[in-house]
Structure 1
Amino acid sequence: MLYPKNLEEKINFTKIRELLKEACSGPLGIDFVNKMSFSKDPNLIGKLLDQTDEFKKIIESGELFPSSNFTNIYPYLEKVKIEGTFLYEDEFHEIRLSLFTLSRCIDFFGEHEEEYPNLFQLLGLVNLDNTILREIERIIDEKGKIRNNASQELSLIRSQILYEENRLRKVLDRIFREAKAKGLTPEDASVTIRGGRMVIPVLAENKRKIKGFIHDESATGQTVFLEPAEVLDINNELKDLEYMERREIQKILTKLTDKLRPAIPELKRAYHFLGMVDFIRAKAKFAIKTKSIKPTLVKTKQMDWHNARHPLLEAALAHAGKKIVPLDLQLDHNRRLLVISGPNAGGKSVTLKTVAMVQYMLQCGLLVPLENHSVCTLFDNFFIDIGDEQNIENDLSTYSSHLMSMKYFTQFADKKTILFIDEFGTGTEPQFGGAIAEGILLALNNLGAYGVITTHYGNLKQVSAKNQGLVNGAMRYDVDKLEPLYQLDIGKPGSSFALEIASKIGISKDIIGYAKDQIGEERVRYDKMLNKLENQVRKYEQSIQESQKKERLLDQRMKEYTQLKETIDLNKKKYLQEAKAEAQALLAGVNKKIETTIRTIKESKADKEVAKQVRTEIEELKLEVKPEKKIVHDAVIKVIGGEIEIGDFVRVKDNGAVGEVLAVRKKEVEVSIGELKSTVKLNRLEKISNTEMKKEKKSYSKRIGFDTNAKMMDFSPNLDIRGKRGEEILPVVQSFVDDGYMLGLKDLRIVHGKGNGILRDLTRNLLRGMSQVNKVEDEHADRGGAGVTLITLKS
């Protein structure tokens, strides 16, 4: 049972029908859209949902499926019923194309029975083979014309027509050439057709010079179109042949129509199937467009919806570049009637219409815009009271019309009813309207009905909090900004925020104070409590979101740490194994050499020359296995005395870095070391002269000279600076990049760790100022992430 009669217009379901019609390929599917209706049969709804879901999978899979020629041939079949009538060539052509589409649909479902069982079952509607299609294809060609070999008589007639046309063309061409040579025709003229007969154009002043019949003249009257007497008989013969051809075609089409007549019942069922397929595909296309799914259907009256969206509102917002706020809804036998309160323009009516639209779509067999794990149920009755139903003809006011609806609801609602009431109780004096609304709400609750109700009345909020079966709902509101969030919060009532909104708009404090006195202290406290609760809920949710964000970040860092540790442990084992293998090979070589030496000494019986030679070889072996030492000759810098001031040049005692003093603050000094600024304790610095500074730079320039081959053997593209102080890394990083650049390397890697990010920032600031560096970025998360800097050098 549906109420009122214009329910679909009220919830704007008519727009859904229009969108489905647009998705259909032909009038057959559109007819099914028009017939689509509300159903309470769970088996039927389940079957419709399964069919649409299967077709949705076909579209998403990209499999080829017929998409054209879903033609409505019912008018042709009505014509065929009459004995002696026949269908024209173009009508048979349309039937031929649609029968071919039908055949392809049948073949597709027959080949995919296991994948799409519910769609395969539709083939039970079809009891039609390809006999009719083959018969039509034998007569009608791909262009929709009668084939020459449709009958023996037609073949002979058309052959004769072709012969006479060629003979006519030859005679006319000869006559036209002679006339043109005599100057009787226009210069750019040619043989043409007038009134279905072949003629030649002749200048009007020469029309008496050629015997024949004038059929037409040009717009200016300067040219006439003349049929020469010599071709008159040939044209007459062609006309007779054309009449014969027409009669033969009519005879062929009549026979073909007679063959179609007995198959009318099977054809109607087959095209019923074809229309249903087009309709189901339209529903599937609409489901994909609206991101709709097949929910879980249960017999118990339970609604557990997640991320419900109004399809029309979502499309409108998307067109405006906005996103819809999805809705979560939970109703069951303990919480059947949801009473939503909150400020104006806060989304109460939109929430109500969203629930109504989604439920109605479901019970019309459409997939619905919910999350996959949503649970739905079906209702026998669907009642709605939305908007102004003022009726001038029946002399009903807005409030009276609402009361008429409420009368109907209380008479016919039961446990299988879902109802929707917008702005419950409004339209009359609030004191009386609220009391009547309260009585109606309790009556509907006693009847066991389900539904969604929106209101501003405080007494309805209180009743909903005290009675089982009723539950309050609030539209979330940003108390600080006084802006709606369009989120439904079930379990607590919402405030209208009337005083807060009035204050924000700029209504005077005296007026607001007077309003508070009129409302009463208890009601004001109640509203304040709701505001406070709303604020606390919002802050609590923000805290939860921040906590969850930190937990996700912590999990990510732990994962990175674990992966990095595993990588280090793996490399450590690898390097140890390589070192052990190398050491073992080296030890084996040394032992072998010593054994050979001992054997040589014994065999030579301690000959001095031989022993001397053997000792020389052993010394050479020692040099081979001895680790190389890196020798660096630092220039000795003379230190001068005196107090360190801004502009002086200084050297760091423990690492030798030199720089210029930028600022002095008590026991700390800010020093510019190259392009790096660093703060160093005063007792770690010693003052040097300008001359010594120049010497240090020259000395540094000399120290960077190196043997390319030797440096290539010693150089590693990985630099570890973990544990170093900020001022220590300048010469190290500078030298590392210079060496890599001069060796022609493309990629370098610096390990500085994560920590507080100080070393990383210092290192990257320094690198970005180097002309040799092309790019600086984080290492892959599996190999250290932000704790390692990858350097790409310029080529």
Structure 2
Amino acid sequence: MIYPHNFEQKIGFDKIRQHIENKCLSTLGIDRAKKMVFISDYDTIARKLHETEEFVHILQEEDEFPANYFFDVRPALKRIRVEGTFLDESELFDLRRSLETIKGIVYFFLNKETEENTPYPYLQKLAGDVTVFPQIIIKTDQILDKFGHIKDNASPDLQRIRREITATLSGISKSLNSILRIAQSEGVVDKDVTPTMRDGRLVIPVIPAYKRKIKGIVHDESASGKTVFIEPAEVVEANNRIRELESDERREIIRILTSFANELRPYTEEIFHSYEFLADIDFIRAKALFSIQINGLLPTFEDCQQIDWYHAIHPLLFLSFQKQQKQVVPLDITLDHKNKILLISGPNAGGKSVCLKTVGLLQYMLQCGLLIPVYENSRTGIFDSIFIDIGDEQSIENDLSTYSSHLTNMKFFVRNCDDRTILLIDEFGGGTEPQIGGAIAEALLDRFNKKNSFGVITTHYQNLKHFAEDTPGIINGAMLYDRHLMQPLFKLSIGNPGSSFAVEIARKIGLPEDVIADASSKVGSDYINMDKYLQDIVRDKRYWENKRQNVRLQEKRLEEITSHYENDIKAIEKQRKEILAEARKNAENILSEANARIENTIRSIKEAQAEKEKTKKIR
């Protein structure tokens, strides 16, 4: 369930839909994009997400996927259900080319199935029961040429008629050229004039003053009145014959097309099913293209209620900033069964609403089957309902103030929320007197929490921050602000409430110091000190987070150095062993050679026993 009716406009999904429609190749995909809706069935969402993810891989890794000729001929197919009707040449040509595309896509997936690992199981399953129609393609090729026109030999009668048209036109042309040469020699028409066509009849352009010099019928004159177009009497009969032949040709073409439609008619339901598949492919392809554009991917998707996102990016903000060569500050956010409701506080224009809209838009995109821009280690879940209360809902027609409209939404939320609902509420409790507004907001927050609903809620109210701090299931969060530069950091920090930095912002804007001092005294030192403590907590938390990050970096560096030295030691030890092994081998070789020489010497001495000089020499 989605609430309110203009939910998509509020979170910007209407613009996402438009991006996808613009990437479709035909009205087939556009119709699918227009009908894209929020789904709460886990298996259906998972299938759509996997289909889109697989198509991303196709776009990035495959060069031969058939992506031409996505034509929507369903209206024409509906029309020929009636006996005696037919597809015209252009419709038949679109049918032939799109059926060829369907066949190419199905065969693309069938060929992939022959491999050991099936790379696109979800898309292959989608293509598995789709019928292709090679016999219709062959039959169409017998009728149409490669440009989509009816062939001369589509039937014997058509071939005869066109031959006669050609012969008759040739005769007319010869007659006209003969008449034209005579007229040119007599100066009736200019030398550069050639026969032209008017109302389907070949005529000669003539200057009005000489129009009586050529016998025939005046068919037309130029807009300036300086030229009249005469059909010479000698070719009137032949031109009439051309008209008759053209009528015969048209009747024969209609007969051929009607005959083809009669053969096609029994298969129209199956063909419709194939075009539904082509529509799916067009739509999935458009979703995949958009995913690539926004760096969308499929994180871990589980059948439970959770949001555990790292580096989540608002896609519309990303596209806008990309044009400006700016970077979007990513969002890290966690909602689980321990902390279901996140209460975000912090300064105005600090990014609270963007954070809330990012959560709403990405969750809605996910449950419409779209990949989302988060890190791969993110974990996503599923909600049955998303309720949002954001922006100015003042209604002149119904005489409702902004606060009344807000309370109307809250009434709906309290009645309909449950543990499978996520609530997105901006400026909770605002729009009325702070004390009672804060009290009502606190009571509502308590009801939401008791109903185990999930939620992202923004507020400035101190009592809600205290309530969140003391209530299990609710956790504070703060949009960080740089006190020194006096500018928002647009970064969410979960665990502590945030300060509105009202005094600091007022001072930066240049509000007189005595006004600030007077305001501070009116709210009391407790409030000012508490706000200061919140700022100090956020500042200290940032300081220690930076310290912790530096320690992590140092530890990582130390691990890298240790690993490097360990690898070096292993390499040296390996090298030492190799050297020792080599030395041992060399020593064995030397010893073996020495032993051989000694044995040879002994043998030589024995052989030369009587010759002392020779024995001495051998020794």
Structure 1 counterpart of 2:387, one-letter code: F
What is the CA–CA distance in structure 1 between the aligned matches of 2:120 and 2:228, rounded to whole Å?
69
Counterpart in 2 of 1:425?
A: 429
Distance apart, 1:70 and its partner CA: 1.6
Distance in 2 (alpha carbons) for counterparts of 1:248 and 1:60: 48
Matching residue of 1:60: 60
1:264 deviates by 1.7
Is the partner of 2:340 in helix, strand or coil? strand
Bigger mean CA deviation after superposition, 431-440 or 56-65:
56-65
2: distance between equivalents of 1:404 and 1:358? 26
After the TM superposition, which of the residue ranges 355-364 and 72-81 deviates more from structure 2?
Answer: 72-81
Contact 2:103 2:132 in 1 (8 A): no
Residues 535-684 of structure 1: matches in 2 within 5 Å? Answer: 535-550=539-554
Q: Is 2:174 the partner of 1:170?
A: yes
Deviations 1:421-480 (A, max 9, x none): 100000111011001100000011001100100000000001101111111111112122
Q: Matched residues in 2 for 1:444 and 1:147: separation? A: 72
User: C-alpha distance in 2, partners of 1:227/1:337?
Assistant: 87
Distance change (3 Å), C-alpha of 1:188 and 1:466: same
SS of residue matched to 2:20:
helix
Q: Distance in 1 between matches of 2:446 and 2:348?
A: 25
CA gap 1:556/1:3 in 2 versus in 1, 3 angstroms: closer
Q: Secondary structure at the match of 2:231?
A: strand
Match of 1:261 among 258, 265, 268: 265
- Aligned pair partner of 1:229 in 233, 237, 241: 233
1:287 is the counterpart of 2:291 = yes
**Could you tell me how far 1:34 is from its partner in structure 2?**
0.9
Structure 2 gaps of 5+ residues are 587-619
CA change 1:462–1:73 in 2 (3 A) is same
Once residues 400 and 355 of structure 1 are traced to their aligned partners in structure 2, the CA distance between those partners, rounded to angstroms, is 25
- Aligned residue type for 1:166: S
For residue 156 of structure 1, report the CA deviation from its aligned partner: 1.1
Q: Could you tell me which residue of structure 1 aligns to residue 105 of structure 2?
A: 105
Q: How many Å separate the matches in 1 of 2:208 and 2:13?
A: 70
SS in 2 for 1:524: helix
Is the contact made by 1:305 and 1:376 (CA closer than 8 Å) also made in structure 2? yes
Matches within 5 A, 1:247-258: 247-258=251-262
Deviation at 1:513, TM superposition (A): 3.0
Q: Residues 84-163 of structure 1 correspond to what in structure 2 (within 5 A)?
A: 84-113=84-113, 114-163=118-167
Equivalent residue number for residue 341 of structure 2: 337
The Cα of 1:224 is off from its aligned counterpart by 3.6
> Displacement, 1:416?
0.9
Alpha-carbon contact 1:516-1:524 (below 8 Å) kept: yes
Q: Within 2, Cα distance between the matches of 1:287 and 1:328? A: 20
CA distance in 2, matches of 1:289, 1:222: 59
Deviation track 1:553-593 (CA, whole Å, cap 9, x = no partner) reads 66677788889999999999999x99xx9xxxxxxxxxxxx
If each structure's helix is expressed as a fraction of its own residues, which one has the higher value?
A: 2
CA contact (8 A) 1:20 1:33 kept: yes
Deviation at 1:228, TM superposition (A): 2.7
> Does the Cα contact within 8 Å between 2:429 and 2:459 map onto a contact in 1?
yes
Whether the 8 Å contact between 1:200 and 1:225 is mirrored in structure 2 is yes
Q: CA deviation at 1:221?
A: 4.6
Cα deviation 1:108-131 (Å, max 9, x = unaligned): 122223211111111245234222
Q: Which residue of 2 aligns with 1:447?
A: 451
Query: Superposed, which structure 2 residues align to 1:222-621 within 5 Å?
Result: 222-550=226-554
1:240 offset after TM fit, Å? 2.2
Offset of 1:222 from its aligned partner? 4.9
**SS of equivalent residue, structure 1 residue 495:** coil
466-475 or 183-192, which moves further after superposition? 183-192
> Structure 2 length normalisation: TM-score?
0.88
SS in 1 for 2:287: helix
Deviation at 1:257, TM superposition (A): 1.7
Deviation at 1:361, TM superposition (A): 0.6
State the secondary structure of the residue aligned to 2:533: helix
Is 1:16 aligned with 2:20?
no
Matches of 1:560 and 1:408 in 2, distance apart? 61
CA 1:545–1:264 in structure 2 vs 1: closer, same or farther (change >3 Å)? Answer: same
Question: Equivalents in 1 of 2:38, 2:342: separation in Å?
Answer: 23
Partner residue, 1:3 = 3
Which amino acid in the other structure matches residue 437 of structure 1?
A
Deviations 1:55-84 (A, max 9, x none): 111001033222232222122122212222
Aligned residue for 1:335, secondary structure, equals: coil
Change in 2 beyond 3 A, CA 1:564/1:74:
closer
C-alpha contact 1:125 1:269 (8 A) present in aligned 2: no
1:92–1:330 CA distance, 2 compared to 1 (3 A):
same
* 1:606-658 residue CA offsets vs partner (Å, 9 max, x unmatched): xxxxxxxxxxxxxxxxxxxxxxxxxxxxxxxxxxxxxxxxxxxxxxxxxxxxx
Query: Structure 1, residues 660-708: CA drift from partner, whole Å, max 9, x if none?
Result: xxxxxxxxxxxxxxxxxxxxxxxxxxxxxxxxxxxxxxxxxxxxxxxxx
Q: CA 1:425–1:73 in structure 2 vs 1: closer, same or farther (change >3 Å)? A: same
Structure with larger RCO (C-alpha < 8 A, sep 6+): 2
Q: Take 2:207 and 2:49, find their aligned partners in 1: how far apart are those partners? A: 75
Contact (CA 8 Å) 1:341, 1:493: kept in 2 or not?
A: yes
Cα distance between partner residues in 1 of 2:67 and 2:223: 48
1:76 corresponds to: 76
Secondary structure of 2:197 counterpart? strand
Greater displacement, 295-304 / 468-477: 295-304
For the Cα contact (< 8 Å) 2:496–2:538, is it kept in 1? no
CA contact (8 A) 1:28 1:72 kept: yes
Matches of 1:288 and 1:217, distance apart in 2: 59
Give how far 1:139 is off: 0.8
Distance in 1 (alpha carbons) for counterparts of 2:339 and 2:560? 41
CA spacing shift, 1:552–1:464, aligned 2, 3 Å: closer
Could you tell me which amino acid in structure 2 is paired with residue 61 of structure 1? E
Deviation of residue 164 (structure 1)? 1.8
Partner of 1:621: none
TM-score, normalising length: structure 1: 0.69
User: Larger Cα Rg: Structure 1 or Structure 2?
Assistant: 1
Which of the two has greater strand per residue? 1
CA–CA distance in 1 between the matches of 2:538 and 2:260?
A: 77
Q: SS at the partner of 1:339?
A: strand
- Give the deviation of 1:552 after TM superposition: 5.7
User: Is the contact made by 1:479 and 1:534 (CA closer than 8 Å) also made in structure 2?
Assistant: no
Which sections of structure 1, spanning at least 5 residues, go unmatched? 582-795
The residue aligned with 2:39 is 39
Q: Secondary structure at the match of 1:115?
A: coil
Give the partner amino acid of 1:22: N
Per-residue Cα deviation, 1:98-154 (whole angstroms, up to 9, x for no partner): 222212111112222321111111124523422222222211112121101100111
1:50 aligns with 50
- Tell me the equivalent position of 1:598: none
Amino acid at match of 1:105: I
Kept after mapping to 2: 8 A contact 1:125/1:270: no
Letter aligned with residue 53 of structure 1: E
Aligned pair partner of 2:199 in 182, 195, 218: 195
Does structure 2 retain, via aligned residues, the 8 Å contact 1:203–1:223? yes
1:230 deviates by 2.7
Counterpart amino acid of 2:453? Answer: A
Percent of pairs identical after alignment? 46
Deviation of 1:203 (Å): 4.2
Which amino acid in structure 1 is aligned with residue 239 of structure 2?
Answer: N
Question: 3-state DSSP class of the match of 2:127?
Answer: helix
> How many residue pairs end up in the alignment?
586
Q: Which amino acid aligns with 1:342?
A: G
